């Protein structure tokens, strides 16, 4: 007899969903610019820097982990997808069996109640994971795994809710409108936790956990207000932040597209401008009937690569509550460089915010690039490109040491003591 069914059953138990999918019956708001200076960033100052990100303020805990194949999370994500399809099948069956509007309204209400419970369970699990990480009871790796699993659950639930809203729209009763508003709010809340667009860091981490791409070194920061994740992959920097304190569970009245675009330009002036030129693009949608907005902006700063910004905006708080960035390293705006020279080798470091893209360059007296092994706080982060002398890394929190070794010469720079 094959052991595979037994193994899968055990793994599903280890994955432990937060709650049954369908049920038995079915900080002060961030209002400033995300484009503040990268060196000693001011979170509420609007500047031309497209590299800065939506911040948590001062996170309560931060660190690094490497995320690779994890069977329990992969199986849990597959289970969430199956649960979503099964719940949809059950709802469609009950909907088809209902013969009156009153019966169909009851089906919608029961399904909405179950979806609300499930959304609350996902939010509670994510908050508990953040709190455990802040308290030192959960490792950075375990936190990333919980985030990935909750993302899969949130996406499956959002798809289910979309089906409920579509059918609720078939009813004219004013109570059905109340159900639609509840479903609208749930979809908006789930957007904070879901995988998001196909180019988000959540999507990349999901692929790494599933073994569909190489493992990724990830920066993790958490606080009571939300979570930030960052990673580098070859010539691409990824960053995502969600701020639960920037989301209002009670949707605002509809906000027209023009008002949203005004807010977007205020928060991201340079990115908005670049997205309308130099081969950029813009895409706007209202996934919650204009109670909430999503914007996708593509741009470049003269490179051949394309960088993207995805924001989820809540008009109730006039704030972004989730931000996903994918930046080509050629488009990164670096902070001021600090240097240290030892013999013929010079080490130059462009400092950045915690979890930000740290540019490290090594060159000789003539300014020619050198190939060197680079370490940050003792951890090897890579070797410089022999053609450019540059390697990118993720910046730790606080002060840190950067060391470069080339042909027997070692240069160390203490960023906390160095001045630009």
Interatomic CA distance for residues 55 and 221, integer angstroms? 10
The lowest-confidence range among 106-115, 178-187, 208-217, 392-401 is: 178-187
Which of the four pLDDT bands, split at 50, 70 and 90, describes residue 292?
Answer: confident
Which of the four pLDDT bands, split at 50, 70 and 90, describes residue 254?
Answer: low
pLDDT of residue 418: 63
Work out the angle at residue 318's Cα, subtended by the Cα atoms of residues 115 and 226, and round it to the nearest 5 degrees: 55
3-state secondary structure the chain: CCCHHHHHHHHHHHHCCCCCCCCCCCCCCCCCCCCCCCCCCCCCCCCCCCCCCCCCCCCCEEEEEEECCCHHHHHHHHHHHHHHHHHHHHHHHHHHHCCCHHHHHHHHHHHHHHHHHHHHHHHHHHHHHHHHHHCCCCCHHHHHHHHHHHHHHHHHHHHHHHHHHHHHCCCCCHHHHHHHHHHHHHHHHHCCCCCCCCCCHHHHHHHHHCCCCCCEEEEEEEECCEEEEEEEECCEEEEEEEEHHHCCCCCCCCCCHHHHHHHHHHHCHHHHHHCCCCCCEEEEECCCCCCCEEEEEEECCCCCCCEEEEEEEECCCCEEEEEEEEEEHHHCCCCCEEEEEECCEEEEEECCCCCCEEEEEEECCCCCECCCEEEECCEEEEECCCCCCEEEEECCCCCCEEEEEECCEEEEEECCCCCC
**313 closest CA partner among 188, 134, 204:** 188
Q: Residue 298: beta bridge partners? A: 281, 308
pLDDT of residue 318: 84
Q: What is the mean pLDDT of residues 281-307?
A: 76
Q: What is the mean pLDDT of residues 239-261?
A: 80
Supply the pTM of this predicted model: 0.84
The lowest-confidence range among 51-65, 121-135, 208-222, 287-301 is: 287-301
Give the pLDDT confidence of 158-176 residue by residue, as tens digits.
999 999 999 988 887 777 7
Interatomic CA distance for residues 96 and 73, integer angstroms? 35
pLDDT over threshold 80, residue 271: yes
Give the pLDDT confidence of 14-31 residue by residue, as tens digits.
333 344 444 333 322 222
For 101-106, which contacts have Cβ atoms below 8 Å and span 24 or more sequence positions? 101/171, 101/172, 101/173, 104/167, 104/170, 104/171, 105/171, 105/173, 105/175, 105/176, 105/179
pLDDT of residue 197: 67
Give the pLDDT confidence of 33-89 residue by residue, as tens digits.
345 333 333 333 334 578 888 988 778 999 999 999 999 899 998 999 999 999 999
pLDDT of residue 187: 85
pLDDT of residue 18: 42
pLDDT of residue 28: 26
């Amino acid at each position: 007899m094959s052991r595979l069914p037994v193994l899968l059953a055990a793994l599903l138990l280890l994955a432990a969903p937060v709650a049954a999918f369908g049920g038995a019956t079915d900080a002060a708001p961030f209002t400033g610019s995300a484009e503040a200076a990268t060196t000693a960033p001011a979170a509420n100052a609007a500047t031309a820097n497209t590299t800065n990100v939506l911040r948590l303020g001062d996170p309560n805990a931060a660190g690094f982990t490497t995320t690779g194949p994890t069977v329990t999370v992969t199986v849990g994500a597959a289970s969430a997808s199956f649960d979503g399809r099964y719940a949809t099948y059950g709802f469609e069956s009950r909907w088809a069996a209902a013969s009156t509007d009153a019966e169909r309204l009851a089906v919608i209400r029961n399904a909405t109640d179950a979806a609300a419970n499930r959304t609350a369970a996902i939010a509670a699990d994510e908050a508990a994971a953040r709190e455990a990480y802040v308290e030192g009871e959960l490792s950075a790796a375990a936190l990333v795994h919980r985030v990935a699993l909750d993302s899969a659950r949130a996406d499956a639930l959002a798809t289910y809710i979309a089906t409920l809203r579509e059918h609720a729209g078939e009813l004219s009763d004013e109570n059905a409108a109340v159900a639609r508003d509840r479903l609208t709010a749930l979809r908006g809340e789930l957007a904070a936790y879901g995988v998001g667009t196909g180019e988000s860091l959540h999507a990349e981490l999901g692929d790494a956990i599933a073994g569909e791409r190489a493992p990724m070194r990830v920066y993790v920061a958490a606080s009571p207000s939300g979570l930030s994740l960052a990673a580098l992959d070859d010539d691409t920097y990824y960053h995502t932040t969600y701020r639960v304190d920037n989301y209002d569970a009670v949707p605002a009245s509809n906000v027209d597209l023009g008002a949203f675009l005004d807010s977007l330009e205020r928060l991201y002036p340079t990115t908005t401008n670049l997205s309308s030129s130099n081969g950029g693009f813009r895409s706007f949608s209202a996934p919650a009937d204009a109670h909430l907005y999503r914007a996708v902006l593509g741009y470049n700063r003269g490179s051949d690569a394309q960088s993207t910004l995805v924001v989820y905006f809540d008009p109730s708080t006039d704030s972004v509550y989730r931000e996903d960035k994918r930046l080509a390293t050629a488009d990164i705006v670096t902070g001021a460089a600090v240097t240290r020279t030892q013999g013929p080798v010079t080490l130059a470091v462009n400092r950045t915010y915690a979890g930000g893209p740290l540019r490290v360059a090594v060159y000789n007296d003539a300014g020619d690039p050198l190939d060197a092994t680079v370490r940050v706080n003792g951890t090897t982060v890579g070797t410089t490109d022999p053609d450019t002398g540059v390697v990118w890394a993720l910046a730790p929190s606080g002060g840190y040491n950067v060391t470069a070794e080339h042909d027997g010469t070692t240069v160390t720079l203490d960023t906390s003591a160095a001045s630009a």
